[in-house]
Structure 1
Amino acid sequence: MNSGTPSIDPLAYHRLRAPQQDGEALVELSRPTISLTPAARQQQQRVNWQLDLDRIACVSRAREAALQLARRHTGSYRDLPELPDDPAAPWLMSGHQPTLFHPGVWLKNFGLSRMGTLARGVAVNLVVDNDLAAASGLRLPLADSGTWRSETVLWEQPTEPIPFEEKPVVDGELFRSFGERVARAIHPLTKEPLIDSLWPVAVERHLAGEPLGRCLAAARHVLEGELGLRTLELPLGELFDLPEVVAWTAAVLEQLDELHRVYNRGLSQFRRTHRIRSRAHPVPDLDRDESWLESPFWVWQRSMPRRRPLWLRMSGNGFALSDRHGWQVEGSQLREMLLDLRGQTRIRPRALMTTLFCRTVLADLFIHGIGGAKYDQLTDAIMLEFLRIEPPAYLTMTATVRLRGREPWRRAEQLALRRQELRDLVYNPQRHLTDSQLASEACRNLLDEKSALLSQRDQLAARHWGIGRVNEKLQPYVAERREALIEMLEDLRRNLREDQLLGSRELSLALFPSQELPDKLLDLGKKVDKLSITYR
């Protein structure tokens, strides 16, 4: 291995859990300390990989092209942030699908901007627009006759999911009225929600002809600029059409046979470590059909944007690419084939390949949420065995911010305690007797009988039956407490359902107060200041 013996076991079990309490954040490096000094970054990049592609040249060219794309894309809808003049400045990256995600996901962008400032580097958020646009609206709590229920406010009628990159705004009228309808629905909980600031920009981008994902992402990014965040946005689809990135994709696919073996073996080890039985989690194995190999990339046609696995067949004469559903091309030079396909055919990475590329080519440090961090243990294993390099560190960052401060876990604890007390009334009713009940001769006789049975060490079956009979005779004494507990449990269940709805950490950032949530995330984002990172 180029970097020597690895200092980490990438597939060792590591528990990551979202904070339970409102306003708490998880900010954790994958290693105790890391260095982002120029010397450390240069040393990392000088360690070559097992690809037929010079790593230093690939990193330099890809970063230059990606930076130009990010500047051009960001500048199409907002002013550019101030960027460092040094072309060797460190890159900090994060990424997510272009949705109106929950505050815990949004915190990554606040941390990203903060770290970009600390490192005097380039902070880039990857817009993961190769994922499927499955949602057709936002779920939110809706007041209904004194109770609360979950309701979806639509920006379009549900349709078959297609990649965000291709997804148009289908119903312009419904889309334009979405912000007003959400604000009206959430008004009992939030008087000035962020949707009021977000949606005019989304509508503006829609009128400019942008697809759905770009409308949503631009709305959020414009707001981030107004809040003082200094980041660029980089659309994944356009990124993987850059010639400098196509060269990397071709180099990976040329070694698909080895990647196939490493990928599936890493998945098997990951499932054993995490005791996962499903063959579909965290992602499915790559398949094989005689000489055809399934790759960790997607393919679809612009004219028919149904995402399918990209398959590859290698022979002495060259390469064949297929989706195994009627589309197939052949050629002798894979890189030229991929370059020629751009425009009408989309070839995009799956999740593990996305972060593999970002962390080994573009980013000096990548910021994950919990899900990405868990799956990137597998990416680390692929880096070690396929690329033969030691994986760079990453940061895991998320928060729990609840609307109205509801904390379902507290109510769940109360519910568990009351259930235990109800059970205790059956098996230990003597613990719940009042002083006046204990003064009763009949009650004392039953307690004496139970005490004698408990001290008995033989005839266990008779002992067990006798204790049950005494407990049953004591039930009338605790009947009133039982009725009260049953009523309390019903109230707790109802309140827990409301807490789970109103206090869900998954509620969209668009539903939160326009001043309160950004202030909270700006404050939580400063937690990156305390990380053990050397920048200079």
Structure 2
Amino acid sequence: MMAEASAEILVEHAGALTDSLTHIEGRPLSAWRAESRSFFNLPDAPVVAAGHQAQAWHAGIVAKTLWSDALARARNATPVHVVVDQDAFDGFFVEWPAREDGLWKANGHRFSNATQEIAALRAPAFRAQEIEHVGETPEYVGAGLARLTAALGLFKNSPNAALQITRALLHGVAHIIQEPRIISASAVMGTSFAQHLLERMVREPDACAQSYNLALQLHPRAARPLRVDGSRSELPLWILNESGERVHASADSVRAARANNQPLLPRASLLGVLLRTALADRFTHGLGGKIYEEVSNDWIRRWLGWQPPHFDVVSATLRLPLENKHNQTHLSGPHQHSFRSAWCDPDLTQTTQAGPSARRRHFLNTIAALPRRSAQRKKLFQELIADRHARRGELAGTLTQLQDVANAHMQARQSLDVAMRRSWCVSLHPPGAIEALSTQLCQRAQDLGA
């Protein structure tokens, strides 16, 4: 096995925690947080948190949890993991590298099926489908897949698929971190602060939606703008219907949903505000979450006139130590002319010069000298095409060799892309790799005085 390189880590630390005496929405921040912690039965102590959807986390995602663990140890705080369970559940699919004819390819296995538009909190826990054929893969990858399968089975009685997957993945790093308290994003709507913001949204739907849309100008692709139409204005919420599907929410439909005790779920921009303000003394996002939160900050500032507490941004790139000599041999070989160029101009196979071959240049120059749309010009162009076809036949062996080289080059490039992926599930890394990543992040936390 090749030696695994150390991870490339990215840490944007926001510095000191927000003063809990700060007033937000007419009350001390400490009061909102105390009520949220009581709601979730958390200790009356600082909270540091991170979270993610129920999917195959790569090292960059787990880095958020490792960073939160480092902060929790340094500040004697409670670590919390938030299960983002309001997203549509796409099943649980894991890929891994396998060698075939000397090349790396990605094999995949679906442990559970998708539930279309059903929110993850309504997707039932599942019996993990066994992997029938792993293929030729490093021993540590096969062992990681076996551990992940066993962990999914260990938590098969979880209330839903989102919690099952989250618990299984956290189980894989349980020997590195303190056990975090797990809460669901859907449950955050039950906190007093969430209910307070909900009341304001329903009372001020136009202002809420307009401010949200203006904030989206920072990152237009982060989300779809909300409809602004009085009491029919959209709000950054989902309504969960009886089938478990998420339905867009307006002020009117939210009132009706509350009257019927239908669950309301926060969209990403609202969830971040709730977590940063009323739950965690410090929340850690990845690079994607940073974009949402920049929109959220501008939205809340425009709408309510205050700034949500700061957040940290953490990510990491950690690749598997996969052998790449075969790929590098094919990619570093000499290439005089590509197959595509030679197919268009077969006589390039007979020369090392760049540009059109002498034979093709003669045709092109003669054609260019003839009057446009003339019969002679058309006839000579047809002769050029016929000549190219004939030369392809005469040089078929050479062209076939070039095509083989091109195919080998393409396969080597695809193999290298697979080998260099940063998105393999964290369970697949060799022993000690995630521990080393944790050590790096702990050291960075110490260096920053976090």
| TM-score in same-fold range (> 0.5) | yes
2:10 — aligned with what? Answer: 27
| Distance apart, 1:229 and its partner CA | 3.5
Cα distance in 2 between the residues matched to 1:34 and 1:159:
38
Cα distance in 2 between the residues matched to 1:524 and 1:34:
18
- Secondary structure of the 1:389 match is coil
Amino acid at match of 2:254: L
The answer to whether the 8 Å contact 1:59/1:362 transfers is yes
User: How far does the alpha carbon of each residue in 1:48-99 deviate from its partner, in whole angstroms, 9 at most, with x for none?
Assistant: 33x4666442222113323x16x8xxxxxxxxxxxxxxx343x222110122
In the TM superposition, 1:229-240 aligns within 5 A as 229-240=178-189
The answer to whether the 8 Å contact 2:96/2:424 transfers is yes
1:122 — aligned with what? Answer: 78
Q: Residue 213 of structure 1 is aligned with which of 154, 162, 177?
A: 162
Whether 2:4 is the aligned partner of 1:48: answer: no
The answer to whether the 8 Å contact 2:23/2:29 transfers is yes
Amino acid at match of 1:299: I
Cα distance in 1 between the residues matched to 2:203 and 2:27:
11
User: How far does the alpha carbon of each residue in 1:105-157 deviate from its partner, in whole angstroms, 9 at most, with x for none?
Assistant: 11211111112112222221211111111134323344556555444312234
Cα distance in 2 between the residues matched to 1:209 and 1:188:
31
Cα distance in 2 between the residues matched to 1:491 and 1:407:
14
2:363 — aligned with what? Answer: none
- Secondary structure of the 2:190 match is coil
1:196 — aligned with what? Answer: 146
Q: Residue 321 of structure 1 is aligned with which of 254, 258, 269?
A: 254
1:135 — aligned with what? Answer: 91
Cα distance in 2 between the residues matched to 1:419 and 1:46:
70
Amino acid at match of 1:27: L
Amino acid at match of 1:220: L
Amino acid at match of 2:315: T
User: How far does the alpha carbon of each residue in 1:471-520 deviate from its partner, in whole angstroms, 9 at most, with x for none?
Assistant: xxxxxxxxx9999876654333111111222332222223333x143233
The answer to whether the 8 Å contact 2:99/2:136 transfers is no
Cα distance in 2 between the residues matched to 1:406 and 1:234:
40
| Distance apart, 1:372 and its partner CA | 1.0
1:347 — aligned with what? Answer: 264
1:285 — aligned with what? Answer: 225
The answer to whether the 8 Å contact 1:287/1:294 transfers is yes
| Distance apart, 1:236 and its partner CA | 1.4
In the TM superposition, 1:234-249 aligns within 5 A as 234-243=183-192, 245-249=194-198
1:312 — aligned with what? Answer: 251
The answer to whether the 8 Å contact 1:310/1:321 transfers is yes
Cα distance in 2 between the residues matched to 1:166 and 1:105:
23
Q: Residue 257 of structure 1 is aligned with which of 206, 212, 225?
A: 206
The answer to whether the 8 Å contact 1:111/1:528 transfers is no
- Secondary structure of the 1:234 match is strand
Using a 3 Å threshold, how does the CA distance of structure 1 residues 299 and 418 change in structure 2: closer, same or farther? farther
Cα distance in 2 between the residues matched to 1:283 and 1:308:
16
Cα distance in 2 between the residues matched to 1:104 and 1:484:
42
Whether 2:84 is the aligned partner of 1:168: answer: no
The answer to whether the 8 Å contact 1:150/1:501 transfers is yes
Using a 3 Å threshold, how does the CA distance of structure 1 residues 488 and 394 change in structure 2: closer, same or farther? farther
Whether 2:92 is the aligned partner of 1:92: answer: no
User: How far does the alpha carbon of each residue in 1:160-194 deviate from its partner, in whole angstroms, 9 at most, with x for none?
Assistant: 24111110135x3xx2x43xx27x51562234532
Cα distance in 1 between the residues matched to 2:112 and 2:433:
27
Using a 3 Å threshold, how does the CA distance of structure 1 residues 417 and 108 change in structure 2: closer, same or farther? farther
Cα distance in 2 between the residues matched to 1:481 and 1:300:
63
The answer to whether the 8 Å contact 2:64/2:314 transfers is yes
Amino acid at match of 1:134: D
Identity of aligned residues (%): 16
1:360 — aligned with what? Answer: 277
| Distance apart, 1:258 and its partner CA | 1.7
2:379 — aligned with what? Answer: none
Cα distance in 2 between the residues matched to 1:121 and 1:220:
22
Cα distance in 2 between the residues matched to 1:229 and 1:152:
31
| Distance apart, 1:396 and its partner CA | 1.9
| Distance apart, 1:299 and its partner CA | 0.8
Cα distance in 1 between the residues matched to 2:15 and 2:267:
29
The answer to whether the 8 Å contact 1:131/1:164 transfers is yes
- Secondary structure of the 1:305 match is coil
Using a 3 Å threshold, how does the CA distance of structure 1 residues 212 and 349 change in structure 2: closer, same or farther? same
Amino acid at match of 1:525: L
- Secondary structure of the 1:225 match is coil
Whether 2:14 is the aligned partner of 1:58: answer: no
In the TM superposition, 1:469-484 aligns within 5 A as none
Cα distance in 2 between the residues matched to 1:270 and 1:504:
27
- Secondary structure of the 2:248 match is strand
Gaps of 5+ in 2: 359-367, 370-396
1:529 — aligned with what? Answer: 445
Using a 3 Å threshold, how does the CA distance of structure 1 residues 379 and 218 change in structure 2: closer, same or farther? same
TM-score by length of 1: 0.65
Cα distance in 2 between the residues matched to 1:415 and 1:287:
54
Cα distance in 1 between the residues matched to 2:87 and 2:324:
31
The answer to whether the 8 Å contact 1:299/1:308 transfers is yes
Using a 3 Å threshold, how does the CA distance of structure 1 residues 291 and 406 change in structure 2: closer, same or farther? farther
In the TM superposition, 1:267-286 aligns within 5 A as 267-271=216-220, 281-286=221-226
| Distance apart, 1:405 and its partner CA | 3.8
Using a 3 Å threshold, how does the CA distance of structure 1 residues 57 and 209 change in structure 2: closer, same or farther? closer
What is the RMSD computed on CA atoms of the aligned residues? 4.2
| Distance apart, 1:423 and its partner CA | 11
Worse-matched range after superposition: 395-404 or 192-201? 192-201
Using a 3 Å threshold, how does the CA distance of structure 1 residues 498 and 526 change in structure 2: closer, same or farther? same
| Distance apart, 1:209 and its partner CA | 5.0
Q: Residue 490 of structure 1 is aligned with which of 378, 403, 407?
A: 407
Using a 3 Å threshold, how does the CA distance of structure 1 residues 256 and 185 change in structure 2: closer, same or farther? same
